[in-house]
Amino acid sequence: MEKHTTKFKVRLGMFIAGGLIIFVAAVFIIGRQKNLFTPVYKLTTSFHNVSGLQVGNNIRFSGINVGTVDNIIIIDDSTVQVDMLIQKNVQKFIKEDCEAAIGSAGLIGDRILILSQGSSTAGLTKNGHQITSKEPVESDAIMASLQVTANNAAIISVQLAEIMTKVNSGNGTLGRFIQDTTIAENINQTIMNLKKSSKGLNENMNAAKENFLFRGYYKRKEKEAEKIRVDSAEKKAEVIKANDNKKK
């Protein structure tokens, strides 16, 4: 009988000890999340719409959790005040001209408050300081914009399908151009005629050069070209000589 009593007492003691350990761990974890064991100071800001932000949501600065949302109060029909508890050890980095913006922790995560970095010339925030805010973009507005884009893409896709159907069936100018072999043959013939015309023009020009009536004209042109070439070569030689003199 005594053995059973002893075993029961041992089990009861282990159960109580385990419960106490779990309770202390839970208090520590919750207190750490709520900054109960960390020195903090208070900042405030205001929004027209907090977009689902809740008390207890994290506050991030430079991608690091530095505090939590302490309270959300409706001031009037167009202003919502958000009180923040910021860790004291990051106060030296948060400037008076920083901005508070509402974001999310991932694509479908909880809402968070994001503090931007202020300018290097601004002063540091103090307890109770109110900072400016940047209004969030509502997810409904984003979805509406995406819906408009999707509708436009669907319309364009249908129109492209109609165009390609007409092209493949030989309708329209482009369709006839692609499907009608006669047009392609005409284009090839036109290109060949242009080549022949170009060849004939070259022959006419050569014949004109041999004609005594135009011989003097072409000789003058050749002399002018030769003179330009010689002058260019002389100028180049003078520049090279001048550079050599400067080096000496």
**Shared-domain flag, residues 162 and 190:** no
CA torsion sign, 197 to 202 to 205 to 211?
negative
The pLDDT score that the predictor gives to residue 184 is 64
The pLDDT score that the predictor gives to residue 37 is 58
The pLDDT score that the predictor gives to residue 248 is 60
The pLDDT score that the predictor gives to residue 46 is 93
**Shared-domain flag, residues 59 and 7:** no
CA 27 to centroid of chain Cα atoms: 42
Average pLDDT of the residues of the chain: 77
**Shared-domain flag, residues 74 and 60:** yes
**Shared-domain flag, residues 114 and 131:** yes
**Shared-domain flag, residues 189 and 231:** no
Cα torsion at 59, 63, 65, 71 (round to 10°)?
Answer: 0
Q: Closest Cα to residue 35, out of 91, 85, 94, 100?
A: 85
The pLDDT score that the predictor gives to residue 179 is 60
**Shared-domain flag, residues 154 and 186:** no
CB 97 within 8 A of CB 122: yes
Structurally, how many domains does the chain consist of? Answer: 5
The pLDDT score that the predictor gives to residue 66 is 92
**Shared-domain flag, residues 121 and 203:** no
**Shared-domain flag, residues 132 and 53:** yes
Q: Using DSSP bridges, classify how beta strands 64-76 and 132-134 pair: parallel, antiparallel or unpaired.
A: unpaired
Tell me how far apart the alpha carbons of residues 15 and 9 are, in angstroms, rounded to a whole number: 10
**Shared-domain flag, residues 21 and 48:** no
CB 49 within 8 A of CB 80: yes
* CA separation, residue 162 to residues 45, 63, 159, 174 (Å): 55, 50, 5, 13
The pLDDT score that the predictor gives to residue 73 is 93
Range of the domain at 157: 138-179
Q: Looking up tokens 């202020």, which residue turns up? A: 118
The angle formed by the CA atoms of residues 47, 49 and 51, to the nearest 5 degrees, is 120
The pLDDT score that the predictor gives to residue 226 is 80
Where the chain has pLDDT below 50, the residues are none
Listing DSSP states for 145-160 in one string gives: HHHHHHHHHHHHHHHH
* CA separation, residue 225 to residues 66, 197, 210, 230 (Å): 80, 28, 19, 9
**Shared-domain flag, residues 151 and 239:** no
**Shared-domain flag, residues 166 and 223:** no
**Shared-domain flag, residues 186 and 175:** no
* CA separation, residue 144 to residues 53, 111, 211, 213 (Å): 21, 20, 79, 80
The pLDDT score that the predictor gives to residue 167 is 64
